[in-house]
Amino acid sequence: MSSQQILAGFHAVQARLRHAPDSIREVYLDTARQDARMQRCIEQLEAANVRWHAADAQRLEGLARGVRHQGIVALARPRPLAVSADEVLDALEDRGEPALLLVLDGVTDPHNLGACLRTADAAGVHAVIAPKDRAVGLNATVQRVACGAADTVPYLTVTNLARTLRALRERDVWLVGTDDAAPHGLHQVDARRPMAWVMGAEGEGMRRLTRETCDELVSIPMRGSVESLNVSVASAVCLYETVRQRLTPA
């Protein structure tokens, strides 16, 4: 993990201020921006004793590395929310709560990952799991698109995804993958049990070994002319089927 993380934009910086202000090293602001939103942010920084510096547009562009920054960029220490799936599952067992995980097999678009994290937070996902070698990391674009969810949902990258999935199964987590050709629909899944939704990459879908490791494959009903959904939208559809079932009295 890199020793420094770049947070660009109000959502990413203010989320870190709420959850882990001590991890922020310094913040750079465009003080030419005098609106109420910037003033509130300055007040929050000062209340948290976080150093901030005035910076011109060129300096901010260089720090943000092409990400839309809205006049604010922070440099922070990475903040791991969990170090392993076992740690997440152990905590859930202590609370007597069924796991809800999201596995992303090779999502490389930072906008898709950011949207997946945002939906995962909204749906109460306990962790998002992805392979190290075929996935985008938590870069500044992901942080901005996630609107703070990167600071609330553990994002775990693993060396061998198939091995991790088998380990989840050994801990009684039911692995449900999505496949357009699956004979059963997602509404037939028993989502009250501990489970992980397994989603494929943009365009390619799940890799063969990932698909074969799933306990169950289901399809998302498609009533129109398009053949598939964006991975972040598909994740939202599946996760909220779990939310619907778990909120419906048995």
> Of the candidates 140, 156, 153, which has an alpha carbon nearest to the alpha carbon of residue 76?
140
Q: Which residues are annotated as a binding site?
A: 200, 220, 229
CA torsion 155→64→32→13, rounded to 10°?
10
Question: Three-class SS of residue 42?
Answer: helix
CA distances from 71 to 46, 167, 223 (A): 17, 44, 43
172: how many CB neighbours lie within 10 A of its CB? Answer: 13
Alpha-carbon distances of 103 from 87, 197, 215, 231, rounded to whole Å: 16, 6, 14, 11
For residue 229, the one-letter residue type is L
Please classify residue 190 by burial: count the beta carbons closer than 10 Å to its beta carbon, then call 0-12 exposed, 13-18 middle and 19+ buried: exposed
As annotated, the binding site for S-adenosyl-L-methionine includes: 200, 220, 229
DSSP H helical segments within 124-160, as ranges?
140-146
